Amino acid sequence: MMVMGIKGNQLPEQDREETLEQRLKRQGVSRRGFLKFCAAAASAMALPPSMVPAIAAALGSVTRPSVIWLSFQECTGCTESLTRSHLPTIESLIFDAISLDYHHTLQAAAGQAAEEAREMAMEKFKGEYLVLVDGSVPMADGGIYSTIAGISNIDMLRDTVENAAAVISVGSCAAFGGLPNAEPNPTGAVGIGDLMEMGEIASKPLINVPGCPPIPVVITGVIAHYLTFGTIPELDHLHRPKSFYGDTIHDRCYRRTFYDQGKFAESFDDEGARLGWCLYKLGCKGPTTHNVCATTKWNEGTSFPIESGHGCIGCSEPKFWDAGGFYEALSEPTGALGTAAKTAVGVGVAAGALSAWQNLSKRSGAAAEREKVTIDDLEQK
């Protein structure tokens, strides 16, 4: 794991002025190596490989932006996700390509020295720096439930975002409130987008990168996109990059074949489970969860939860923790429905739609904020 210097990662001026191509060249990386980096970056950004020349041209001209990473009410899983990858990888190269001026988990400095590094970066790169946030912000009781160096999270965020170029919320806590926001939400935890809407912090271009945690290359891919093109990628209605969150897990799942054939595992140890059949009836939230786990996968492309035999829990969606049981099928009844309706879920696509409708109409509160899906909806995709 990289550890920053005593006062952050304060770079000599000439290093900040270098483009990524110049920096790699100085490190002995050839033009071919640079093109290879661009090909890997395109793959990481979920861009078509035909974009490689555009990426190469862009990276040959941009310099390193200052990045301030703020960690609030979080478990550090997002930072762990980012840094657990083996080095050197595309991730480490991306970190060579930005100037990470403040990250209190990674930097050696603490307290006053750390805060000075943040303030220095904010002053020097006013209007240009990028703010990355992981963790939600507690708003109850004046925000006293989480402080850093004696500064409440909301005060630090308000101060830091004021002159930022853009904000990236890393992980479901920063994006949507996440687990701290789960009922009964004793700290009044909210996500960054909500704080902008509430007028608690300045409104800036916002990219949400949800997940609990997000996939490392998705985090770096979004940073790489900003670094490369100087713009935020195309976003969906929840401010998630469409390139990573445009499809559902179900859309790209290798078990989709079995779903289409109506072959479902009924329990985690039955014949269907052993044969790798669809986990829909065991509570898989793949049909309503937008993420790239099924294609990018985890642990350097090794596998993803469904490939390991467990359904998706929907961690990149708002309020996933309060959206019903992880082991309840999306269209299985949660209330007291008749036996006929319960049976319908299992016996056929058309019949299942009725049960799905009945079930979905019964859901309320957190579940109501999730995208609804019926077997008919899935068939139409």
Spatial contact of 281 and 329, defined as CB atoms under 8 Å apart: yes
Q: How far is CA 374 from CA 69, 342, 351, in A?
A: 40, 14, 11
Tokens linked to 224: 């790489």
- What are 324's strand-pairing partners? none
- Binds other proteins by CB under 8 A, chosen from 4, 67, 201, 294: 294
Give the whole-angstrom CA distance, residue 134 versus residue 93. Answer: 21
Q: Is 85 exposed, middle or buried (0-12, 13-18, 19+ CB in 10 A)?
A: middle
Of 40 and 62, the one with the shorter C-beta distance to other proteins is: 40
Vertex 125: Cα angle to 111 and 135 (nearest 5): 50
**Binding segment (CB under 8 A) for other proteins, from list 35-43, 167-175, 194-202, 326-334:** 35-43
2 near other proteins, judged by CB under 8 A: no
User: Least distance in Å: CB of 303 to other proteins?
Assistant: 12
32 near other proteins, judged by CB under 8 A: yes
88 near other proteins, judged by CB under 8 A: yes
308 near other proteins, judged by CB under 8 A: no
Of 302 and 339, the one with the shorter C-beta distance to other proteins is: 302
Of 193 and 241, the one with the shorter C-beta distance to other proteins is: 241
Of 10 and 22, the one with the shorter C-beta distance to other proteins is: 22
Contacts of 149 (CB under 8 A, 6+ apart): 111, 112, 114, 115
- Dihedral over Cα of 271, 274, 276, 280: its sign: positive
295 near other proteins, judged by CB under 8 A: yes
**Contact characters 206-245, other proteins, x per CB under 8 A:** ----------------------------------------
Spatial contact of 375 and 359, defined as CB atoms under 8 Å apart: no
**Contact characters 118-157, other proteins, x per CB under 8 A:** ----------------------------------------
Of 140 and 254, the one with the shorter C-beta distance to other proteins is: 254
**Binding segment (CB under 8 A) for other proteins, from list 67-75, 120-128, 178-186, 293-301:** 293-301
Of 308 and 364, the one with the shorter C-beta distance to other proteins is: 308
Give the whole-angstrom CA distance, residue 347 versus residue 380. Answer: 18
**Contact characters 251-280, other proteins, x per CB under 8 A:** -xxxx-xx---------------xxx----
Give the whole-angstrom CA distance, residue 357 versus residue 312. Answer: 21
Q: What does the DSSP assignment read for 201-262?
A: S----EEEE-SSS--HHHHHHHHHHHHHHSSPPPB-TTS-BHHHHSSBTTTT-TTHHHHHHT
Of 232 and 294, the one with the shorter C-beta distance to other proteins is: 294
114 near other proteins, judged by CB under 8 A: no
50 near other proteins, judged by CB under 8 A: yes
89: left (phi over 0), alpha (psi -120 to 50) or beta: beta
User: Least distance in Å: CB of 296 to other proteins?
Assistant: 7
- Binds other proteins by CB under 8 A, chosen from 11, 40, 349, 360: 40
Q: Is 301 exposed, middle or buried (0-12, 13-18, 19+ CB in 10 A)?
A: exposed
Residue 71 has phi, psi (to 5 degrees) of -115, 120
339 near other proteins, judged by CB under 8 A: no
Give the whole-angstrom CA distance, residue 224 versus residue 85. Answer: 16
Of 130 and 282, the one with the shorter C-beta distance to other proteins is: 282
Which spans of this chain sit near other proteins (rule: CB under 8 A)?
29-33, 35-37, 39-40, 42-43, 46, 48-50, 52-53, 86, 88-90, 252-255, 257-258, 274-276, 294-296, 300-301
